[in-house]
Homo-oligomer: A and B are copies of this chain.
Amino acid sequence: MSSIRSLYASDGGHLGGNMDVDYVVQYKVSSDRAEAAAGFTQLIEALTRVGLASEVRYGDGSSLLVFVKVASEKHLTNHIYRERVQDWLYGVRITTPNKDVAKEFADQPVTEAERLRTVYLLITKPKNQGGAGIAPKIGVWRNVESIFPLHNHAFNRRWIKQWSTKYFLDDRDLDQIRDKFGESVAFYFAFMQSYFAFLIFPAAFGFGAWLILGQYSWFYAIVSSLWSIIFFEWWKKKEVDLAVQWGVRGVSRIQRPRTQFKWEHEAIDPITGESVKVYPPMKRFQTQLLQIPFAFGCLAILGALYVFCFSIEIFLTEIYNGPFKSYLTFTPTIILTGLLPALSTILSSFAEKLTDMENYETIDNHHAALVRKLFIINFITSYTPLFLSAFVYMLFGNLLVPYLDIFKTTAEQFSSEESISTQGFQINPDRLKKQMIYFTVTAQIVNFALEAIVPYVKRKAFKEVERVQSKGKASASSDVLEEHEFLERVRDEAQLDVYDVTVDYREMVIQFGYLSLFSAIWPLTPLCFLINNWVELRSDAMKIAVSSKRPIPWRDDSIGPWLNALGFLSWFGSLVSSAIVYLFSGDSEGPGGDPSNIAVWGLLLSILLSEHVYLAAQFVVRYALKQMDSPGLQKERAERFAIRKQVLEESLGPEAIEKPLPPTPQVGEKITRESLEDKAREISAHGGGTPEQLFWLRQQGMDETIQIGRSLISQAKAAKN
């Protein structure tokens, strides 16, 4: 693509160099200059206070770029050491950090991701936790536009080049992403790669089913559902495995505090003696209950829009036969395209407000709660059209269509003609399939364009405008010559969007939903997704490398809240696809629009059966997968073993490892006898002894016990069996 070529055209030596900059803070110059100057002073002071050095340069016309790097490496390592101790306490790492700090870092040097993460925390953590407390765009920091690390262009270039020439990604590719962009991004690519590889089977099988079985096949639905169980359970295992291999297992238990958290009162933790900020969980729970009306509200609003467009569409395409038909059929599409994104945005921002009100203490909890709500919105926007077609149009079409005459009457009032000409209504059995093809092919292509091409064009245009506007302005012309190229690059990066992995996850999860819920309608679905995802994987890489700021390398031990969404869709698929197959298999026209043709009990029974077969299969698959070993578990075992050996050696001496109990029979016997004889002597010296001492003195040593035992045996009565 041309954008890469332009970014990497000049292969100068400076390309890899980022002037040792750790972070760039983009500072907006507000119209109140004095306030801007005061805020700027505060910023630099706050940065300096936590041991960061800073340099300031012009940004674009109306902003400054503050370059930040760690002034004292010792402060940084102290912070990282602290984090490593925390990791160890939470069981994220198994080996204890070496008590000699210097040795610890000699053994395990600081990685690029670790450094960037720590510096970011240093800048953004609250003051009482040792950070500078800078929160972009909030409160006193409202002029701080963004805080971002700089891309490693040499790496990005190699990365994109590599990926565009290979079919499969391997573990090394993922490790690379992890080292540069953190585990959070690496988990997305790992998930994508696994999903892509898993899709090969249903793609092939679906192609076969399409050739042989046709649509609405029981067999295809069962295999597909089983596949989704296996994929989901396998991924849950893989996820843990990756987390262990990347040394981040359990990292989600260490939670970052949220700056915006509002506490009701402070209390002293009885245990740690620290003051804790408290917000009553029951109060939060009450707010959380608002999610229920929220979900119904979303359903009502979006549902109403869909039903409205759906009705017009059916009226226009299948009943109306008057003038301008070919133009009018686009009306619903136009309405949807206009209103849906707007409504989605409004509802999403409402979801954000609701999540803010829920007032979570940690970033992770906040994010999970937000994702839950976004998933509801996306679920409704994505699947409602298909639900309407399958369970309303196809079933009740003939009953409901007469009510569509309202459009005719309405139109007639506005029309000059006396009567709008209509045609007889007949349910279009291909409607479902056509819609499905739209969602799996057309929508994915449109999506790709929106995601990859539009931002590029937008950026190009924007840059051009900027260039024209800032002509003759101070910014670029005041650069020192040898810095100019570097600063221009940073200014470009400052314009880029922040990469949000949530958006990419959402896309994939919704795609998985189409597969799990509706692919029985058109068995070529998985094949289309397979092709789409090959491109998607690479365009996402490109998005990070070219059209986004470099992401902060957060750690993560899972794909987080999306895992639940996947599990939900997989389970819900068992209900929906069994219903679809039951209703429409056999003759492809289904019950032909007359609901009295359907045996409701048969439908309910097949849903009930399908769900429970699903749950049973899940149980079996989960159990079977649990039996298997994996590289991550092996690694964990090895680490445990090494430490155990070390601790035992240090405490019990090196021989403790090889043979857990040294004494050979003879030695053991000697010990026993000697210790007993010592005791005997001691007791006799004092004259007599306790009943216990006397009891244990009757048979001194092994030989006597054996001898007496043998004589007892010869006298005893034999047991009956």
Contact = CB atoms under 8 A, between A and B. Distances in A.
Interface of A: 14, 17, 19-20, 27-31, 33, 36-37, 40-41, 44-45, 48-51, 53-58, 61-64, 66-67, 69, 71-72, 75, 78-79, 81-82, 85-86, 88-91, 94, 96-97, 99-101, 129-130, 270-272, 281, 284-285, 473-475, 480, 482-483, 486, 600-601, 604-605, 607-608, 624, 627-628, 634, 637-638, 640-641, 643-644, 647-648, 650-652, 656, 659-661, 663-665, 668-669, 671-672, 675-676, 691-692, 694-696, 698-699, 702, 705-706, 708-710, 712-720
Contacts of A130: 659-661
A675 B71 contact: yes
A709 B64 contact: yes
Contact of A72 (B20, B486, B671): B671
Given A31-B718, A62-B716, A285-B624, 5 more contacts: A29-B719, A50-B668, A56-B712, A62-B719, A89-B94
Nearest to A274: B641
A700 to B, nearest CB: 10
Given A41-B710, A474-B715, A694 B482 contact: yes
Given A19-B692, A44-B702, A717 B676 contact: no
A56 B716 contact: no
Query: Per DSSP, are chain A's interface residues mostly helix, strand or loop, or mixed?
Result: helix
Contact of A63 (B49, B79, B637, B719): B719
B717 A61 contact: yes
Nearest to A626: B281
Nearest to A56: B709
A599 B474 CA distance: 82
B85 A714 contact: no
Contacts of A58: 712, 716
A719 B671 contact: no
Nearest to A284: B627
A80 to B, nearest CB: 11
A713 B607 contact: no
A70 to B, nearest CB: 10
Nearest to A130: B660
Contacts of A656: 78, 82
Contact of A608 (B89, B473, B604, B709): B604
Given A604-B605, A709-B44, A672 B129 contact: no
A100 B651 CA distance: 6
A232 B36 CA distance: 58
Given A82-B648, A607-B608, A643-B89, A19 B720 contact: no
B675 A712 contact: no
Contacts of A628: 281
5 contacts: A30-B719, A61-B716, A78-B656, A101-B652, A608-B608
A718 B50 contact: no
